[in-house]
Amino acid sequence: MSSTTPDRELKDRHRALWALGDYPAIADQVIPELGRVVVEAARVGPGEKVLDVAAGSGNASLPAAQAGADVVASDLTPALLDVGRSRAEELGLALDWREADAEELPFDDAAFDVALSCVGIMFAPHHQDAADELVRVVRPGGRIALVSWTPTGFIGQMLTTMRPFVPPPPPGTQPPPLWGDEEHVRTLLGDRVEDVRAERRLLRVERFAGGQEFLDYFKTAYGPTIAAYRAVADNPMREAELDQSLVRLAEQYAPEPGVLEWEYLLLTATRR
């Protein structure tokens, strides 16, 4: 991806988006299980060189380091890396925290034994560019492991629900939940990988008593939700419509009181 002015502006917006609210709290309080899932699926072991793409505050990076790997945690948003760096120090873990664009990774070809991402790379706006970089930095025989929200699961549907309330994305970008579609990811990775395995799983979330409590939390903690509400801040009717849509959606994905089920795709592959 060339660093044209429109692309730089888009990346600046993405960087700012994920600095909104408190994504590290979501990683710690709501989805901590997913980091461990992707590290286990990647079979990360002692001494391996691991790259976490769009690592955020280290939801997967920290467990990978605890498994004995030599970890580089890369993300576009420095504020998230700062939180991860502090948490690593508290845990006595040594990681390399690097500001990096998933579509232009500053690493050599075949530099890593493992590349993984936990609901991170899926938010890079140009999917093929990000996939090309993901494959490029993994050595032949190395592994790729990804956890991504599915289009039909709760977070995928939440992002779809918010789409009409925000300005349209630039031409050429693709919606994040497509990374949760197995065929889409297989196409992105192409014949450069083998032994592709994909499994849809459910994350059981028991953090919220109901749809309204979920919404109250995400309106203050989750960057995309905060951005959607800022976009309608001067229109009380649209804001109320968004409230109702998101609470109703959460209730649809609640199999029982106090429980939400969020579907994700776990995909692994081996670099040819």
- Residue 5's pLDDT is 66
Write out pLDDT tens, residues 124-148: 999 999 999 999 999 999 999 999 9
- Residue 69's pLDDT is 98
Asked if residue 92 is part of any domain, the answer here is: yes
Write out pLDDT tens, residues 156-203: 999 999 999 999 999 999 999 999 999 999 999 999 999 999 999 999
Asked if residue 24 is part of any domain, the answer here is: yes
DSSP 99-124: E-BTTB--S-TT-EEEEEEES-GGGS
- Residue 6's pLDDT is 72
pLDDT at 39 over 80: yes
Phi and psi at 160, nearest 5°, equal: -65, -40
Write out pLDDT tens, residues 62-106: 999 999 999 999 999 999 999 999 999 999 999 999 999 999 999
Rounded distance between C-alpha atoms, residue 106 and residue 200, angstroms: 31
Asked if residue 173 is part of any domain, the answer here is: yes
Asked if residue 160 is part of any domain, the answer here is: yes
- Residue 7's pLDDT is 87
- Residue 4's pLDDT is 57
Asked if residue 215 is part of any domain, the answer here is: no
* Residues 23-52, mean pLDDT to the nearest whole number: 98
- Residue 3's pLDDT is 46
Name the average pLDDT for the chain.
97
Rounded distance between C-alpha atoms, residue 110 and residue 213, angstroms: 45
Asked if residue 83 is part of any domain, the answer here is: yes
- Long-range CB contacts (< 8 A, 24+ apart) of 213-222? 214/246, 214/247, 214/250, 214/260, 215/243, 215/246, 215/247, 215/250, 218/246, 220/21, 220/22, 221/21, 221/22, 221/23, 221/25, 221/26, 222/21, 222/23, 222/26
Asked if residue 266 is part of any domain, the answer here is: yes
The whole domain housing 103 covers 5-206+259-271
Asked if residue 18 is part of any domain, the answer here is: yes
Rounded distance between C-alpha atoms, residue 231 and residue 239, angstroms: 9
Q: 38: domain CATH number?
A: 3.40.50.150
Q: How many domains does the chain have?
A: 1
Confidence bin at 2 (pLDDT 50/70/90): very low
pLDDT at 1 over 60: no
- Residue 41's pLDDT is 98
Write out pLDDT tens, residues 212-248: 999 999 999 999 999 999 999 999 999 999 999 999 9
